[in-house]
Chain A
Amino acid sequence: MPPKKGSPSGKSRTNAAPKRMGSLSSFQPMLNFARVPSGGVSTSSPASASGSTSNATTGPSVRPASGRSVSGPVASTSKSMPPPPLPRRGQAKSVPAPAAKGRPATKSTGDKGKGKLKMEDNEVVEVISSDEDDMPKKRRRPAPSAGKEPAVDMDKAAMWTDIFGPETEAELAPGKARITKVREWLYEAIHGVPEAAVHSQGYSPSTARILLVTGPAGIGKATTVRLLASQLGIDLVEWTEGVEERHLGVGFETESAISKLSSFLSRNAYPALNLGLGASSSSQTQMHRPRALLMTSLPNIGHQATRTAFHDALLSFCHNYTPSSCPLIIVHSESGQGGRAEESWMDRERGGYEGILEVVGREVKDGPWCAEIEFLSLAPTFLTKALNRVLGLAISDPAKRPSPGAVQLISLSANGDLRSAINSLQMLCSGSVLKNKKRKTGESREKATGRGSRGGRGTKVDVSDEIRAALDAVTRREQSLNLFHALGKVFYNKRLDDPTTDNDDQEAIAAIRKLALDDPLPPHLGEFERRKSMVQMETFIPTIPVDTSMFALWLHHNIPQFCTDVEQVSSIMDDLCGADLMRTEDDIWQSSPQAIAYALHLTVRGTLMGLPSPVPRNHQKVVKPQFFESYHTERANTSLLDVATGHLARKAVSASIAYADGEADDGPPWGGTESKLVLATETVPMAVKIQSLSRKPLLPISVQPLALQPYSAYSSGMFLGEELSSVSRQGEEDESFDATAAGEDGLGVVPDARHPGLWDEDADGKQGKEQLGWLEDDDIEDFD
């Protein structure tokens, strides 16, 4: 096939593509950060080539995501692609295209050409049932023709995140170590041995089956995987959820999403058969290309049944894996962290937030075949670097770029989310372009507001008020303060006329001063008189990055160290209690958004009211609330309590049966099951005590954590603000305190009942299986 064909056909399609972007569904994929070079290897090429928008019956739900250039007859990307690691043939010619930003465009043109050619060749390549037939097309964007103003063209066409994805490994935003890890894994999974050990003998075959790439959203997880895969010459077959199921109409047998996924996994675990006629060289190269499965969207694993099915599918995928199968890569954004303080009923019923354990299931996670690489959120410097690169690609004229300060501001406010940072950047730039235009065309109208002139000054402003304002309008409003920043605002309780004010604050102070004075309080409320706070609630509240109950927990946990008097703590705690009352979940009013908003106001205002002014600064450390840890221990202990109950009940029941059968004369009579409260406060603590004294085991060793730690006057490492320098001294004082305490109050020292020898070790082994029933985490236990 003559490779040239690609470009003309591509051009014609260029015009067609933007039209389709109108619909929301077609816009959706554009938001994906990663730019998937799309094309026709395994997609239904006829559909895309003919340009029909909806082809309901066939269409790929699975699209190969990279490496198209190899199999396709049309060489598309040789210019901008990194040098491929494998020698490749038949693709030497590149389409003449603008080198810098033309790459994605050329790629798409290449695809089209290929698609068409394929159709002509009648070459069928796995078409997997699906509903997103026009997926590949959506990914395309028109090629900017040379000489046109690229920026203008670009921002209309697509998101920069899609267009200017990184092209070499060096350009990837995440840290080098993690990229290397992903790369090594990929290599090992495909070739069966680690890259380093290729030539060494006797290396045991790799068990790499599933790679979990986790981390916050928008930091380039999927991009990294795609780029590395294409570098290693691996075809990615991507699973995408079907959304247009319903349009299939009646008569079609609808396959449930999860069964589709299962079949996707089982079908693709095997290397593709060469269905081609074997004539074309391209199909032969294709046969040798390794493939990997990529999942970026997971099924609804919040749903219990779906999750179970998903776990089963993964497990069988692991079990049925053969050396020639394709490994699976799951890219998953951690969600749910920083969410609700305690899981609500609904959440717990669904099994809590999606930790990685929930995603893949325990068996897979603990098996040898699953590796997890966790990406971290990006530091602002990395963001700035990446943003500058994108900017360099997007706007060729340095004069038109936003100032470095503005870029820095964006990267600082993005919370490590590169995708959102690039989006913000694009918004900012498109804004300034618009303003430019306005100035040229209709300045008269704009003058009234003064905006025209400001915009007219162009993009060359410093990080001055103008840019800040623009950024605020474009980005910052949606962004949030860093949690610690928000907490700090409250903790330091800055007020007007504080003796110590930093220079940075001058601007803010001036703004506060401009506000109208508060009415003076009547005399009987004199104790509530405070100087004007630098925290303006209306602007502060929306910037809090976590929800009300979470924020309250953080405040609660750290507030005492910022107070000088216990009275202040007491008044703050009182308000936190009041806020807590408002946002319980039992009735409609209390769980309403208004109640929650009021609770937040009460929390913050109460805290500001109670804190001393100025707050003494002695290097207080803000730490994570202990609440969660305690809550989890409590839940674990509750299930242990069930184990203990089960143990005692079984013993009693068997004694009772023995008595009834006349085997024993004086088995203890059955006294009925005891309530949780009695067990937790009376039976179990006393049984622990008695067994530690009598050395006769009563309880199974597995419930050992139920025994309280011996009391010590000093708190354990959890404790904040305390220097840990005096560990040894601390121990000594401990003892002496205990001794004196014992003497004074006659309570005695809490004995250390955690000695393992005292516990009923047989019990656990004996009951192993039985116990499962009781071990079941009783998540019904009320958390009210």
Chain B
Amino acid sequence: MSLWVDKYRPRSLDDCHYHPELSSRLKSLAASGDFPHILFYGPSGAGKKTRIMATLRELYGPGVEKLRIDQRVFVTPSNRKLDVNVVQSNFHIELTPSDVGMYDRVVIQDILKEIAQTQQVDLNAKQKFKVVIINEADSLTRDAQAALRRTMEKYMTNMRLIMCANSTSKIIAPIRSRCLLVRVSAPSDEEMATVLTHVAKKERFHLPATASESIIEASDGNLRKALLVFEAMKMQRPDLEGDIDVARPDWETYCAKVADMILQEQSASRLLEVRAKIYELLSHCIPAHVVLKTIADRIVDKVDDELKASVVHYAAHYELRMRQGSKKIFHIEAFVAKIMSVVKQYALMGMTEDWE
């Protein structure tokens, strides 16, 4: 069985429920025969990869569905072996070079050269070029991006790049200027509601408006999250009627409870309890900045209006430090301690610290 989020993923551009003008533009691009390098960008869960795959189907037909997973081994200049998993078909290859951290340049160069130097041998192929999909292009190192820039020009005949990123800000200007930038924005609430209703219809049940609203509210324009939450809720409470809890990921609930702990008591011993929870979260691969942000969000929701500004200020302050520093736990905990003392000051004296 598969998750709804996979099951009801649109297969073709025509099936996409929102951004119809973008779909028609991509279709005409695929039909024109002059396909450019494309950089898809937009928030998480907006449908970038869905559209990339749909575009590929438009370009090559159902042949791209014949996928295989390969493990490729790359050797760095320092003779270290890197294993990278790539998904590919006869017409395209998909890789996530940022998985190998600072060695991404090696992976990029090797793969691109290999693809670029082999001609398409399938005479029935609709296009002469192959497509390389690069996931998480915004976390590529500068080196890798520079390597990319050069190959983009050099091997234009045999290869097209499709990159996928959350924002263009971390992508160097030369690459941006060589690509067609396609923004896939997050679906609006109505668009999301359409999608949810569509899924409900396919699953043959009725989705009440209240449930739909609460799902949409909980998922911040992230359609993937909305569908996951939707499925979990349906499993939890099959009728979906009445006042119903939104099924959130466990760690979000966990963070919210940690935030509540912080607000309940402000003391050194409470800080120790909070620390144990944070360690638990971190050891489950929840990124530290996500933990900090989620806790801060919850605290902002709960505290007095006068404190909101300083909570956000400190969240920003410590998140920056965390990204610069090396031990995440120090910074999250410093944030927690600071919030505790701010909340305590406010409760005792009814005033906020002047953080400016």
Interface residues of A in 673-691 (CB under 8 A from B): 673, 675-678, 680-683, 685-690
One of B146-154, B181-189, B330-338 contacting the partner = B330-338
B273-A673 in contact (CB<8A): no
A681-B290 in contact (CB<8A): yes
B327-A746 in contact (CB<8A): no
B31 at the interface (CB under 8 A from A): no
* A contact residues around B340 at 8 Å (CB): 566, 569-570
Q: Closest residue of chain A to B11, judged by CB?
A: A669
Chain B 237-253, CB within 8 Å of chain A: the 1/0 string? 00000000101111101
Interface residues of A in 654-678 (CB under 8 A from B): 655-657, 659-661, 666, 668-673, 675-678
B200 at the interface (CB under 8 A from A): no
Q: Which of B11, B87, B251, B253 contacts A681 (CB 8 A)?
A: B251
B100-A660 in contact (CB<8A): no
* B contact residues around A564 at 8 Å (CB): 268
B268-A561 in contact (CB<8A): yes
A630-B3 in contact (CB<8A): no
A656-B337 in contact (CB<8A): no
A711-B254 in contact (CB<8A): yes
B249-A693 in contact (CB<8A): no
One of A106-114, A219-227, A357-365, A577-585 contacting the partner = A577-585
B276-A686 in contact (CB<8A): no
A685-B235 in contact (CB<8A): no
* Shortest CB distance A156–B (Å): 48
Q: Which of B8, B53, B62, B279 contacts A626 (CB 8 A)?
A: B279
* Shortest CB distance A312–B (Å): 17
Whole-angstrom CA separation of A342 from B282 in the bound complex: 15
Known interface pairs A570-B337, A576-B330, A681-B251. Does A780 touch B280 (Cβ–Cβ under 8 Å)?
A: no
Whole-angstrom CA separation of A748 from B250 in the bound complex: 10
B68-A653 in contact (CB<8A): yes
- Tell me if A's interface is mostly helix, strand, loop or mixed: helix
A585-B232 in contact (CB<8A): no
* Shortest CB distance A687–B (Å): 6
* Shortest CB distance B238–A (Å): 10
B341-A638 in contact (CB<8A): no
Known interface pairs A349-B80, A633-B283, A659-B65. Does A570 touch B261 (Cβ–Cβ under 8 Å)?
A: no
A570-B2 in contact (CB<8A): no
One of A269-277, A279-287, A416-424, A715-723 contacting the partner = A715-723
* B contact residues around A675 at 8 Å (CB): 96, 135-136
* Shortest CB distance B328–A (Å): 9
A773-B2 in contact (CB<8A): no
B321 at the interface (CB under 8 A from A): yes
Q: Which of A565, A573, A685 contacts B251 (CB 8 A)?
A: A685
Known interface pairs A560-B269, A566-B271. Does A670 touch B53 (Cβ–Cβ under 8 Å)?
A: yes
Q: Which of A553, A651, A747 contacts B327 (CB 8 A)?
A: A553
Whole-angstrom CA separation of A774 from B87 in the bound complex: 13
Q: Which of B68, B277, B290, B329 contacts A627 (CB 8 A)?
A: B329
* A contact residues around B283 at 8 Å (CB): 629-631, 633-634, 637
Q: Which of A666, A677, A688 contacts B287 (CB 8 A)?
A: A677
A778 at the interface (CB under 8 A from B): yes
Known interface pairs A580-B325, A678-B44. Does A566 touch B284 (Cβ–Cβ under 8 Å)?
A: no
Whole-angstrom CA separation of A574 from B256 in the bound complex: 24
* B contact residues around A570 at 8 Å (CB): 334, 337-338, 340-341
Whole-angstrom CA separation of A89 from B276 in the bound complex: 68
B101-A780 in contact (CB<8A): yes
Q: Which of B53, B222, B281, B329 contacts A672 (CB 8 A)?
A: B53
A569-B268 in contact (CB<8A): yes
Interface residues of A in 345-372 (CB under 8 A from B): 345, 349
B285-A641 in contact (CB<8A): yes
One of B110-118, B191-199, B223-231, B305-313 contacting the partner = B223-231
* Shortest CB distance A82–B (Å): 51
* B contact residues around A568 at 8 Å (CB): 268
B85-A774 in contact (CB<8A): yes
A213 at the interface (CB under 8 A from B): no
A-B contact count (CB 8 A): 287
* B contact residues around A345 at 8 Å (CB): 102
One of A41-49, A139-147, A471-479, A701-709 contacting the partner = A701-709
B253-A711 in contact (CB<8A): yes
Q: Which of A652, A694, A783 contacts B6 (CB 8 A)?
A: A652
B326-A584 in contact (CB<8A): yes
B69 at the interface (CB under 8 A from A): yes
Q: Which of B3, B69, B80, B285 contacts A649 (CB 8 A)?
A: B69
B143 at the interface (CB under 8 A from A): no
A776 at the interface (CB under 8 A from B): yes
* A contact residues around B1 at 8 Å (CB): 696, 698
Q: Closest residue of chain B to A680, judged by CB?
A: B285
Q: Closest residue of chain B to A669, judged by CB?
A: B11
* B contact residues around A690 at 8 Å (CB): 3, 228, 231-232, 235
B272-A693 in contact (CB<8A): no
A512 at the interface (CB under 8 A from B): no
A672-B273 in contact (CB<8A): no
Q: Which of A626, A672, A680, A781 contacts B94 (CB 8 A)?
A: A672
Residue with the highest number of chain B CB atoms closer than 10 Å, among A669, A683, A694, A715: A669
B14 at the interface (CB under 8 A from A): no
Q: Which of A552, A651, A689, A776 contacts B247 (CB 8 A)?
A: A689
Q: Which of B249, B318, B326, B341 contacts A583 (CB 8 A)?
A: B326
* A contact residues around B176 at 8 Å (CB): none
Interface residues of A in 713-756 (CB under 8 A from B): 713-716, 718-721, 741, 745-748, 750-751, 753
Chain B 186-218, CB within 8 Å of chain A: the 1/0 string? 000000000000000000000000000000000
A567 at the interface (CB under 8 A from B): yes
A519 at the interface (CB under 8 A from B): no
* Shortest CB distance B72–A (Å): 10
* Shortest CB distance A188–B (Å): 40
* B contact residues around A518 at 8 Å (CB): none
Known interface pairs A660-B62, A719-B272, A748-B253. Does A709 touch B229 (Cβ–Cβ under 8 Å)?
A: no
Q: Which of B67, B267, B321 contacts A581 (CB 8 A)?
A: B321
B169 at the interface (CB under 8 A from A): no
Known interface pairs A581-B321, A627-B329, A668-B2. Does A747 touch B248 (Cβ–Cβ under 8 Å)?
A: yes
* B contact residues around A685 at 8 Å (CB): 249-251
B245-A747 in contact (CB<8A): yes
A773-B273 in contact (CB<8A): no
Whole-angstrom CA separation of A598 from B62 in the bound complex: 62
Q: Closest residue of chain A to B62, judged by CB?
A: A660
* Shortest CB distance A689–B (Å): 5
* Shortest CB distance A719–B (Å): 6
* Shortest CB distance B105–A (Å): 13
Could you pull out 18 A-B pairs where Cβ atoms are within 8 angstroms?
A: A342-B327, A556-B329, A560-B268, A561-B269, A564-B268, A576-B330, A580-B331, A627-B279, A630-B282, A630-B283, A646-B69, A653-B87, A673-B85, A677-B44, A680-B287, A686-B225, A688-B250, A774-B85
By a beta-carbon cutoff of 8 Å, the part of chain B in contact with chain A is: 1-3, 5-11, 44-45, 49-50, 52-53, 62-63, 65-69, 71, 78, 80, 82-83, 85, 87, 94, 96, 99-103, 133, 135-136, 164, 222, 224-225, 228-229, 231-232, 235-236, 245, 247-251, 253-254, 256-257, 260-261, 266-273, 275-277, 279-287, 290, 318, 321, 324-327, 329-331, 333-334, 337-338, 340-341, 344
Apart from A573-B334, A673-B94, A747-B256, what are 11 other A-B pairs with CB-CB below 8 Å? Answer: A566-B341, A573-B333, A576-B334, A577-B330, A653-B69, A656-B67, A678-B44, A681-B249, A682-B222, A719-B273, A773-B85
5 interchain residue pairs of minimum CB distance: A672-B49, A660-B65, A715-B276, A693-B235, A573-B334
By a beta-carbon cutoff of 8 Å, the part of chain A in contact with chain B is: 341-342, 345, 349, 549, 552-553, 556, 560-561, 563-570, 573-574, 576-577, 580-581, 583-585, 626-627, 629-631, 633-634, 637-638, 641, 646, 649-653, 655-657, 659-661, 666, 668-673, 675-678, 680-683, 685-690, 693-694, 696, 698, 706-709, 711, 713-716, 718-721, 741, 745-748, 750-751, 753, 773-774, 776, 778, 780-784
